[in-house]
Structure 1
Amino acid sequence: MSAAPNSSADKIHPLTSLRFFAAFFVVIYHTLGNLVRGRFLPANINTPHPADALPNFGSRFLSIGFVSVSFFFLLSGYILAIVYLRREKPIDRRKFFIARFARVYPLFFITLLMDLPFSFRMLARLSSMHHAMLKIPINFVVETLMLHAWLVKFSGINFPNWSLSAEAVFYLSFPFIGLPLWRLRGKARWTAAVLLFVGGQALVFAWSTSFDLSPLQPIPLLHLSTFALGILLASWQFDARRQSPKPWQAYAALVAAAIVMVAAVETSPWIPLHNLGDGILAPIFMLLIWALSSSATGLSRMLSVRWLVVLGEASFGLYLLHIPVLHIFESVHSIAQPWAYALYLALTIILSVLSFYFVEAPLRRWILASFDRHPRESLEAASIAQ
């Protein structure tokens, strides 16, 4: 029996549910400052947050919500490897690109349109109406083409969607790097993993000390190593010689991940912020995915309950909708009161679920029915393969 989830749904549900908590962490990171007036969150990744500015574990934890994006990147490589590489055959690029387009682009474009008027109004207030009329159309074209992680001066409409610009690079590279990484075995696989992690973090550190970067202006290639580590994790788990983790092994991995995560949070004021945002926590995420990708633990079974799985399936919508919904909500009422903030969160979650069932899934099916009648990705697999 293989260690990783196979075609049975119960083996993939915990990872689906985990996506909800990761996306919700991003939502809290982006919006809680509106409620607490920035008490918890550093205004910018370029702004150091010394220990005295983040005096307790809670404030430090909330200040690193952006690390969820690295988790998404790693999980994306992991799930795509499971779906496409287990047969160890070349990937049908046409089918693959159609499936990825159908998964991410419809809601990406819809939320881009939703946030467009608010971005225009904000820019007009900050500069001038003339400047906004010139710049926003260019921004819209650049973001529509998913080039805004490269052309950072022409971004800012629904800013969290920068990660999809990075994902587009991963999708383009996957048919070429996926199978070679999957076929690595033994020392070669471990060597590749170490080189990817250490080399990737060294590159991030060197790049960030040489250029002015921010968490919302990443270079996609700096995240590619995290995506590749997800592929290697899937390859290691699906090695035919490997057995399912025993319950004590899964629990040990969860405890280890928790301990290292607490240590990372406590020391976060001294860790280079760009490395935090660009994959330095990948080993923790790999432990979590390995431990939760089977039903060996009570936590895995808890995360497999249907309502959490539904929230996980809607996590992509939660991630993309929370800023447009925030702008719409605050045009009516500020979220600076606890009740208003709670209402905003509840509304965003509800809309993300409705979006999954009535926007994302129907549009995905329509695109696939038009261009690819026999996709390899199931709806559930696609829901966590952002």
Structure 2
Amino acid sequence: MALSARKPAIPALTGVRFLAALSVALFHLSFQLAASLNIPTGHFFDNAGEPVELFFMLSGFILTYTHSDVSTVNRAATSQFYLSRFAKIYPMYLLGWLVFAPLIYINLVSLHGPGPGTYARLAFYGVMSITLMQAWIPATANAWNTPGWSLSAEAFFYALFPLLFASLKHRTVRALIALIALCWLISVVPTIVVSMLPKPFSTVQWPQDAANFMPVLRIAEFIAGICMGRLYLDRSSERSWAFDLAAALALVLAVAAMLFSNYLHARVVLFPVFFALLYCLARASGPLSRLLGSKVMVLLGEASFAFYILHVPLFKYAKIAVPSVATSPLQFSIFLVALTGVSIFCYLSIEKPLCAYLRRAYRTPPVARVPATLQR
């Protein structure tokens, strides 16, 4: 099998990843700062973590765009796909896991004291998270390095991608649009159900955690991204400034929804807004797409995975060393700049070379192309 030619990058989609990662970081880190300054935040701390939904859609889109040779028949391409995903996410994820390990040990000992129960919890949380299974149990989803739950979900999505892609590869535009609408409905139903639960279920955390973190309840966002990729591939040569304007409008609407909508309304609104933002950026030719596709923003976007994985543990260490970093605007800004620098360093010196090494070391040798008749 000859692997598909490498498709040209879509720089604006790389740049927008940093904006999404920054939103999630501010959601996790800036509550004390906002409170100390009496900044009116609206619903920001209800909704600013929602760009994870954008990550899931973008993941489905990019995989569809770059792995069009994957199928349930073409085992070589499928094996190469799984290797590629492992090489891309796991080295940096493992670094985040290791950096967080002393913090969770200290936390568990302070809560429960040293002893067999504490070490059993530590081992259980550690195994669940290092095997990317933590999101399947609400109690473990955020137990080890909070952002890691989304990688647990992504691992599930990656496992199903060849099957999902094969089933959607030849769908008509009308069928894809209908499926996107169905994915929108499926994505918000768990949150709606949780909001309607009677007491005592409405006062406990696990139903909300299940709705937020359970991979099977988040896969609709990934499937919508695959559908978006199929729509884009049908018309990818058509670009215009009108899409740039639409992307700018979608970006404004996303920020407004996160600031001014309650959590339930934001969950309903942000799915189509994020979908429109990504699709329009991919098709755009204008100032916003040029800005997000600039060299600086592309570098930040490429480093956004390290930024995303490391922001929680590094901030915890920063607070241990300098407690006022959580409430001082200057110190908090310095931390964000330092975090960005560390993330770029990790991308250039760890993530990128390790990913390239693993892909070279375990590359599947080319084999004869599978006849089209056997792929039906």
Normalising by structure 2, report the TM-score. Answer: 0.84
**What is the match of residue 320 of structure 2?**
331
Deviation, 1:194, is 1.4
* Paired residues for 1:28-177 under 5 Å: 28-37=26-35, 58-85=41-68, 90=73, 92-130=77-115, 131-155=117-141, 156-177=143-164
CA contact (8 A) 1:160 1:216 kept: no
Cα deviations by residue, 1:337-371 (Å, 9 ceiling, x for unpaired): 22221121111111100000111112112211221
Where does structure 1 lack aligned partners over 5 or more consecutive residues?
A: 1-5, 41-54, 376-386
- How far residue 89 of structure 1 moved from its aligned partner, in angstroms, is 8.5
Distance in 1, matches of 2:147 and 2:343, equals 15
Residues 1:189 and 2:176 aligned together? yes
Question: CA shift at 1:166, angstroms?
Answer: 0.3
Q: Which amino acid aligns with 1:361?
A: K
* Corresponding residue for residue 246 of structure 1: 240
Structure 1, 194-203 or 109-118: larger mean CA deviation: 194-203
In the TM superposition, residue 195 of structure 1 has moved relative to its aligned partner by 1.5
Q: Does 1:272 align with 2:261?
A: no
Question: After superposition, what is the alpha-carbon deviation per residue over 1:28-49, rounded to whole angstroms, capped at 9, x for unaligned?
Answer: 1100013234888xxxxxxxxx
Displacement of 1:198 in angstroms is: 1.5
Identical amino acids, percent of aligned pairs: 26
Shift in CA distance, 37/262, structure 1 to aligned 2, threshold 3 Å:
closer
In the alignment of these two chains, the number of paired residues is 347
How has the CA–CA distance of structure 1 residues 272 and 114 changed in structure 2, closer, same or farther, with 3 Å as cutoff? same
Structure 1 residue 250 displacement after superposition: 3.5
Mapped partners of 2:95, 2:348: distance in 1: 15
| Inter-partner Cα distance in structure 2 for 1:162 and 1:89 | 27
Secondary structure of the equivalent of 1:154?
A: coil
SS for the counterpart of 2:42 is helix
Which deviates the most, 227-236 or 323-332?
Answer: 323-332
Aligned partner of 1:339: which letter? Answer: L
* Deviation by residue 1:145-202 (Cα, 9 ceiling, x = unmatched): 1110012333511111100000011001101011222321132222212122123322
User: Is 1:314–2:303 an aligned residue pair?
Assistant: yes
Letter in 2 for 1:234: G
Q: 1:185 to 1:87 in 2, by over 3 A?
A: farther
**Aligned counterparts of 1:342 and 1:74: Cα–Cα separation in 2:** 30
Residue identity opposite 2:136 in structure 1: W
Q: Which residue of 2 aligns with 1:23?
A: 21
| Deviation per residue, 1:211-263 (Å, 9 max, x gap) | 622389611111100000011111111116x7514322441x22542464365
1:123 and 1:38 mapped to 2: Cα distance?
28
User: Contact conserved, 1:161 with 1:320, CA < 8 A, in 2?
Assistant: yes
Q: Is the 8 A contact 2:244 2:288 kept in 1?
A: no
Tell me how far apart the structure 2 counterparts of residues 172 and 38 of structure 1 sit (CA, whole Å): 44
Task: Kindly state the Cα deviation for residue 138 of structure 1 after the two structures are TM-superposed.
Answer: 1.4
Distance in 1 (CA, whole Å) between partners of 2:50 and 2:210 is 10
Q: Which amino acid aligns with 1:68?
A: P
| Structure-2 change in CA distance of 1:60 and 1:203 (3 Å) | closer
Give unmatched runs, 5+ long, in structure 2: 1-5, 198-205, 367-376
* Counterpart for residue 305 of structure 1: 294
CA contact (8 A) 1:149 1:217 kept: no
Deviations 1:91-132 (A, max 9, x none): 522111111111111111111111111111112222322243
Q: Aligned residue for 1:370?
A: 361
Paired residue secondary structure (1:66): coil
Task: Write the distance in 2 (CA, Å) between the matches of 1:265 and 1:25.
Answer: 10
State how far apart, in whole Å, the 2-side matches of 1:125 and 1:173 are.
Answer: 40
Partners of 2:70 and 2:81 within 8 A in 1: no
Deviation at residue 372 of structure 1 after TM alignment: 1.3
Aligned partners of 2:238 and 2:159: how far apart in 1? Answer: 32
Partner of 1:47: none
- 1:234 aligns with 229
Once residues 129 and 217 of structure 1 are traced to their aligned partners in structure 2, the CA distance between those partners, rounded to angstroms, is 32
Structure 1 residue 323: Cα displacement = 1.0
Change (3 A) 1:208 1:113: farther
More deviation, 257-266/61-70: 257-266
Within the candidate set 351, 354, 358, 2:342 is matched to 351
Q: In 1, distance between residues paired with 2:85 and 2:334?
A: 33
- The one of 254, 263, 271 equivalent to 1:261 is 254
| Contact persistence 1:254–1:291 (CA under 8 A) | yes
> Comparing 61-70 with 143-152, which one deviates more in the overlay?
61-70
With the length of structure 1 as denominator, give the TM-score of the two structures: 0.82
